[in-house]
Amino acid sequence: MSLVLANPVRRPPPVARMAWDLNALSGGRVVLGLGAGGEVADLPGLGPMRRFAAEALAEARSAGA
């Protein structure tokens, strides 16, 4: 199974912890994929995180990511 997380949607520390735990449970078979996200229009459900997520997405796009 593959899964790429939209980076602006999650805070980095909990994602790192979840990946660490899953890697330990799976015997070292986790490969974590992070994406910049889709469109700013996809972010309204984030509430207070929306502004941060929109800024992070814009920054990733301007950096060529």
pLDDT tens digits for 8-29? 667 778 888 988 999 999 999 9
The answer to whether residues 8 and 36 touch, using CB atoms and an 8 Å cutoff, is yes
According to DSSP, the residues that pair with 33 across neighbouring strands are 4
Report pLDDT for 29.
Answer: 92
Q: Residue 12 has what pLDDT?
A: 78
- Res. 61: pLDDT tops 80: no
User: pLDDT by residue (tens digit) across 32-49?
Assistant: 877 766 666 666 666 666
Percent of the chain with pLDDT over 70: 52
- φ, ψ (nearest 5 deg) of residue 33: -110, 130
**The overall pTM is greater than 0.95:** no
Domain assignments of the chain as residue spans, ordered by start? 4-62
